Amino acid sequence: MRSSWVILLVLSSTLAYSQQREYSVKEITDKLQKKYDSLQDATAHFTQHVKFGFSKIEQSFSGTLRMKRLNKYRIETEYQTLVTDGTTVWSYSPVNKQVLIDRYKETPDSFAPEQLLLNLPANYFASLVHQEKKGEATWFALKLVPKDDQSFVKSMKVWIEEGSWVVRKVEMLDVNDTEKMYDVQEVKINTGLKDVTFTFTAPAGTEVVDLR
């Protein structure tokens, strides 16, 4: 009798595994796009690791990203605060006690979270590498190759969480062979971030360099 229960348990587990939902690349990217079509703002805590291609120097740090449509974002780490309201961009270095102010413009090597997240299906050829379990969640790993031969990004790999359909991890290789890896620990969506979040007031004693 005991062996029968063991066999039944194994068969049940096998059946559950075989019934695990399988997704095509298009289904995954469509769900990702639908998720971000409904996004008004987001807050994410992340860890970034950078390995520079030429010097092989490596850096790791943690930070917080806040973003809001359209092209509003605020990235804060211990080394730098980068803020834009979509028109003006502030780059503040607490170590140097200096803030650079410039007009916002998209460049090939700029980090624009909205463009990165919203234009994955449009700007990249995507293929499903594998899926993996992370605790109770399932993550889908997609390999992305830019459609534009002149893209600053050579290749990228993103992990998307089933259910929430948000990007939880990114590995990026650029034309300078610099590797950037982002791990997202927590994401909060549509919490009603105020526009004032995406402006910057320099602390007293800060040197202000206006490049506009």
Parent domain of 146: 22-210
Q: How many domains does the chain have?
A: 1
Condensed to tens digits (0 to 9), the pLDDT of residues 47-91 reads: 999 999 888 899 998 999 999 988 899 999 988 999 999 999 999
Residue 205 lies in a domain: yes
Q: Say if residue 32 is preceded by a cis peptide, omega within 30 of 0.
A: no
Residue 6 lies in a domain: no
Phi, psi angle pair for 197, to nearest 5°: -60, -25
Q: Dihedral through CA 27, CA 31, CA 33, CA 37, nearest 10?
A: 150
Residue 17 lies in a domain: no
* CATH label of the domain that carries residue 57: 2.50.20.10
pTM above 0.95, yes or no: no
Residue 32 lies in a domain: yes
Residue 40 lies in a domain: yes
Whether the per-residue pLDDT at 11 is higher than 50: the answer is no
Q: CA-CA distance, 3 to 6, in Å (whole number)?
A: 5
Residue 196 lies in a domain: yes
| Predicted local distance difference test score (pLDDT) of residue 148 | 86
